[in-house]
């Protein structure tokens, strides 16, 4: 038993070994401070739910309670409400996916689908392959089942196939068991990068050749700005992909309704794991969403969200161009995030307290790596603050970064302010901006 | 890797070892048949949600959306909505519990609290002590984390202290690690039995002396019929008890809102596990319940539920007395269940298909034992059908049981019909009934 507590905890010797992996985020306390209203937070990935007309939700609730109250208030199926699962097929069809309603499992947000997949696949010591960088709370889940996350090199087109091939070969030569490849191929979190269609096909081919399951997590795919992204990986590969979707970004996260689409045998185990974990997902929230999808112009509402987030992305890119012209960043065609690359000698994690003091918050790049990398990066979320606040936040951030560089310059002559250039690895030029 | 699938499943060699413990219930297919309207189901534990005036819920929903829509639709705290956690203290105070709001963690039904507790405590091979018989889906959760359930003898006053002491000593002598004692002390599922106050104190004393955590699961405590049950075990022991509560039975399960009250250090780990599993429980359903508790006569509503279930319990006990006078059963003072003891040579599991053919369903006793025991018992749930249907269900059941006995008599002279008596182990006489 490893140490997972202290002598103030009477039960510190009783925890499971996996519990050692459940550590509180180092930046958690800071984020509590960052939620004060005077701080411009570019840290959290909260959808802008105020862009959803409240009466659309209220009306759906009212009709569900009027017409189907006793069913909505009751336990339901461990697989989810059948009518909603049918509608989920329509949502996925927008990304080229054809599937059987029997293979959809509704979960308590797609986060719970991650947990269930991890629970049924991961033994201690197993390896999960993931993009570098990768979604922080997916890695928390994998680690909570004592798996090891191995990052695979990415560039501006997503996972690099040659790197993936080599990494698999190296791990296998070490005798390590790879359980699946976790990817957010569209508008990645935190990178904002989208895997190209050619890369998707190559990655699927490598996975197939190596008998590695692909876990395709796609919360942002419908929130594109400049044109639709490539179809989902699941659209061309059925038996080798578990696809995860959610209503958290296209409707609202407060419902906690997401789903997994899985090959038949895996689907059966996911249902059993879901029943063990929660008996059944909430009938009430599923039925409200089903009613909303039946009666509201939900595609129009997604268009509204696209417009909101496009404007915010543009505001962030413009502010970065204006205030931090020497740095580089990714230019996302959708989703919630820009990935900023700092000068080599600036550490985003140690800089965060100073940023919060200057009333701006971000997520340090280290959060998105399982191996301590990411110090010279940060994730900037443009989903929640208004364009004016985004601009002000970037202005404050530039003050903090420039202050940091001045400070470093005081103690060293190796990186003069005017010539600092960022690492160029996963960066596209800021397109479409003057 | 143990075999957990077949060659039709391309991934059958990839599952985690724990997934072997996630088997589908043997009676699951039958229950699908049993949900046909012509079958009187005494099997499921579905609350009678139609006794909840719909407008109470609709009104709460409407006000939440009107006054706090953007908060209700957003991600929330991994620990749960603060206002609701305060109100949960008031609910628990009815059972003698005094606690700090910081130690309450809201979960996706109390089932998910079971899952989270299991996740943070159970390593493969660990032992969980549980009543004989015990709640089936708690055992499914423990087994899904590769723990072993060891049943402790119970009588009509609950867990038998001497048996508990001996069992602990025997297991420890074998070098086995006991992680906690799982108990439903009030109106037990499936037994209907309530642990007496003296027993609660004795069991807590044994747990304390042996450094064993107690997991007190209390979904039914407020649904008493003939007078309040003893206070919760958590009311006298803070550091050694994790208490689980839920709104599924006092309000409705469709919300999927329950909670854990845990010692401080454990509570912190539960929050981390909750965040990994679902990010945050649904803000929307929590806030609707909070609004309901603020504005409705929720204690009066619990009284209404008590009246409904008391009438159904009485109908079941009367029907058992009328139709199966030679058998014995428990007489619950609350909750949802009666535990019926059959003649020694009748097997409730193999009899179930014949019962469903006769249009009555129940849960075989074997479901509530991890070790194959329980064949001569069944759980009868009186929560959902109306009194008339309960009576008809018991009449049909008596036909099935008597038919079974006649059949057995045809092939054997060892158990003549007229003298068959049930095992008397955990049985009380049918009190309060003529």
Please classify residue A400 by burial: count the beta carbons closer than 10 Å to its beta carbon, then call 0-12 exposed, 13-18 middle and 19+ buried.
buried
B260 shares a domain with B274: yes
Which ipTM was obtained for this model? 0.93
Sign of CA dihedral A393, A398, A404, A407: negative
Among A280, A222, A226, smallest CA distance to A256 is for A280
Q: Do B9 and A266 touch (CB under 8 A)?
A: yes
Mention every residue, 6+ apart, whose C-beta is less than 8 A from residue B224: B187, B306, B333, B334
**pLDDT attached to residue B408:** 86
Evaluate whether residue B106 is within a structural domain: yes
- Please report, for residues A104, A296, A302, the alpha-carbon distance to residue A299 in angstroms, rounded to integers and kept in the order given: 21, 9, 5
CA distance B227 to B203: 23
Find chain B residues with C-beta within 8 A of A9's C-beta. 263-266
Beta bridge partners of A352: none
Given CA atoms A70, A73, A78, A80 in this order, what sign does their dihedral have?
A: positive
DSSP A133: S
- Is A2 within the bounds of a domain? no
| Residue B29 contacts residue B44 (beta carbons within 8 Å) | no
B158, B256: one domain: yes
User: Where is average pLDDT lowest: A102-106, B36-40, B408-412?
Assistant: B408-412
Q: Report yes or no: A157 and A195 within 8 Å, Cβ to Cβ.
A: yes
Block means of pLDDT (10 residues each) for chain A, 434 residues, are 58 94 72 82 94 95 97 96 98 98 98 98 98 96 97 98 98 98 98 98 98 98 97 97 98 98 96 96 98 98 98 98 97 98 95 95 96 97 97 98 90 51 37 32
Q: Indicate yes or no: CB of A121 within 8 angstroms of CB of B16.
A: yes
**How buried is B339 (Cβ within 10 angstroms: 0-12 exposed, 13-18 middle, 19+ buried)?**
buried
Answer yes or no: do A273 and A368 share one domain: no
pLDDT (0 to 100) of residue A413: 59
Residue ending a domain, choose from A274, A295, A316: A295
The structure tokens 């699962």 sit at A85
Phi, psi angles (nearest 5°) of residue B203: -65, -40
* Same domain membership, residue B156 and residue B239: yes
Residue A408 has a pLDDT of 86
Residue B52: closest CA among B313, B312, B388, B292:
B292
DSSP class per residue in A184-220: --SS-TTT-----HHHHHHHHHHHHHTT-EEEEE-SS
Contact at 8 Å (CB) between B193 and B156? yes
Q: Is B62 on the interface with A (CB under 8 A)?
A: yes
Quick one: pLDDT band at residue B341, thresholds 50, 70, 90? Answer: very high
Among A271, A275, A278, which Cα is nearest to A256's? A278
Computed over every residue of chain B, the mean pLDDT equals 92
Length of chain B as a residue count: 434
In B409-424, which positions are buried (b, 16+ CB within 10 angstroms) versus exposed (e)? eeeeeeeeeeebebee
A203 with A341, same domain?
no
Tell me the backbone φ, ψ of residue B154, rounded to 5 degrees: -125, 155
CA distance A87 to A85: 5
Q: Token pair of A284, please?
A: 């009430």
C-beta separation of A387 from A315 below 8 A: yes
How many Å apart are CA A373 and CA A157, to the nearest integer? 20
Q: Which of B210, B118, B203, B204 is nearest to B154 (CA)?
A: B203
Q: Are residues B291 and B357 in the same domain?
A: no
- Chain B residue with minimum CA distance to A180: B14
Decide if B284 and A108 are in contact by the 8 Å CB cutoff.
no
Residues A339 and A390 in one domain: yes
- A385 in contact with B, Cβ within 8 Å: no
Report the pLDDT averaged over residues B146-171: 98
Number of domains in chain B: 2
The Cα of A97 is separated from the nearest Cα of chain B by a number of Å equal to: 21
User: What CATH number does residue B287 fall under?
Assistant: 3.40.640.10
| DSSP secondary structure code for residue A18 in this structure | G
Asked if B183 has any chain A CB less than 8 Å from its own CB, the reply is no
The dihedrals phi and psi of B243, each to the nearest 5 degrees, come to -105, 135
Residue where a domain stops, chosen among A295, A323, A353: A295
Of A49, A73, A122, the CB nearest to B70: A49
| Residues B242, A425: Cα–Cα separation, whole Å | 50
Asked if residue B336 is part of any domain, the answer here is: yes
Do the domain assignments include residue A198? yes
Same domain, A267 and A284: yes
pLDDT of res. A6: 52
pLDDT range class, residue B432, cuts 50, 70, 90: very low
In a domain, A9, yes or no: no
Q: What is the pLDDT of residues B238-273, one digit of tens each?
A: 999 999 999 999 999 999 999 999 999 999 999 999
Indicate yes or no: CB of B282 within 8 angstroms of CB of A254: yes
Confidence of residue B8 (pLDDT cuts 50, 70, 90): confident
Decide which of A295, A321, A354 is a domain's last residue. A295
Per-residue DSSP letters for B254-312?
A: GG--EEEE--HHHHHHHHHHHHHHHSS--HHHHHHHHHHHHHS-HHHHHHHHHHHHHHH
Q: Give the residue numbers spanning the domain of A281.
A: 54-295
In this prediction, residue B1 has a pLDDT band, given cuts at 50, 70 and 90, of very low
Q: What's the confidence (pLDDT) of residue B26? A: 64
Identify whether residues A198 and A237 lie together within a single domain: yes
pLDDT at res. B21: 83
**A113 and A191 share one domain:** yes
**Residue B290 reports pLDDT greater than 70:** yes
Instruction: Give domain status of residue B433, yes or no.
Output: no
Tell if the CB–CB gap between B16 and A122 is shorter than 8 Å.
yes
A369 and A384 both lie in a single domain:
yes
pLDDT computed for residue B27 by the predictor: 65
| Residues A211 and A177 sit within 8 Å (Cβ to Cβ) | no
B140 and B164: one domain? yes
Does the beta carbon of A31 lie under 8 angstroms from any beta carbon of chain B? no
For B342-404, give the DSSP string.
-BTT--HHHHHHHHHHTTEE-EEGGGG-SSS--TTEEEEE-SSS-HHHHHHHHHHHHHHHHHH
**Closest residue of chain B to A17, computed from CA coordinates:** B123
pLDDT at B118: 98
DSSP state, A6? Answer: -
Q: Is residue B342 part of a domain?
A: yes
Test mutation, B149, B269, B280, chain A, max A CBs within 10 A: B269
CA distance B355 to B401: 9
Q: What CA–CA distance (Å, rounded) separates A262 from A100? A: 10
Residue A5 lies in a domain: no
């Amino acid at each position: 038993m490893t140490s997972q507590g202290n002598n103030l905890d009477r039960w510190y010797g009783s925890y499971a070994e996996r519990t050692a992996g459940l550590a509180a985020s180092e930046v958690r306390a800071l984020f509590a401070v960052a939620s004060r209203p005077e701080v411009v937070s570019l840290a959290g990935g909260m959808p802008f739910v105020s862009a959803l007309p409240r009466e659309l939700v209220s009306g759906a609730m009212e009709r569900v309670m009027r017409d189907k109250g006793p069913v909505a208030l009751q336990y339901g199926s461990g697989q989810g409400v059948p009518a909603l699962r049918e509608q989920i097929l329509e949502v996925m069809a927008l990304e080229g996916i054809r599937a059987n309603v029997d293979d959809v499992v509704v979960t308590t947000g797609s986060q719970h689908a991650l947990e269930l997949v991890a629970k049924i696949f991961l033994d201690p010591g197993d390896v999960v392959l993931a993009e570098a960088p990768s979604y922080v709370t997916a890695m928390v889940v994998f680690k909570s089942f004592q798996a090891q996350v191995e990052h695979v090199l990415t560039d501006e087109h997503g996972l690099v196939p040659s790197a993936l091939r080599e990494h698999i070969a190296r791990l296998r030569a070490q005798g390590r068991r790879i359980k699946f490849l976790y990817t957010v191929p569209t508008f990645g979190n935190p990178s904002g990068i989208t895997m190209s269609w050619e890369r998707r096909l190559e990655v699927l081919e490598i996975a197939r050749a190596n008998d590695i399951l692909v876990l395709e997590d796609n919360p942002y795919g419908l929130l594109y700005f400049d044109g639709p992204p490539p179809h989902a990986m699941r659209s061309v590969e059925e038996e080798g992909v578990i696809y995860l979707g959610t209503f958290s970004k296209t409707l609202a996260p407060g419902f906690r309704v997401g789903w997994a689409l899985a090959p038949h045998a895996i689907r059966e185990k996911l249902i059993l794991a879901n029943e063990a974990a929660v008996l059944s997902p909430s009938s009430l929230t599923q039925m409200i969403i089903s009613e909303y999808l039946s009666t509201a112009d939900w595609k129009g509402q997604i268009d509204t969200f696209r417009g909101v987030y496009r404007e915010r992305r543009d505001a962030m890119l413009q502010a970065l161009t204006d205030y931090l012209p020497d740095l580089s960043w990714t230019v996302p065609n959708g989703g919630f995030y820009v990935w900023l690359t700092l000068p080599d000698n600036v550490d985003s994690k140690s800089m965060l307290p100073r940023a919060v003091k200057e009333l701006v918050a971000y997520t340090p790049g280290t959060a998105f790596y399982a191996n301590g990398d990411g110090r010279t990066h940060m994730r900037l979320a443009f989903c929640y603050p208004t364009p004016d606040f985004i601009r002000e936040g970037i202005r404050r951030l530039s003050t903090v970064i420039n202050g940091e560089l001045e400070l470093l310059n005081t103690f060293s002559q190796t990186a003069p302010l005017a010539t600092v250039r960022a690492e160029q690895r996963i960066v596209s030029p800021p397109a479409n901006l003057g």
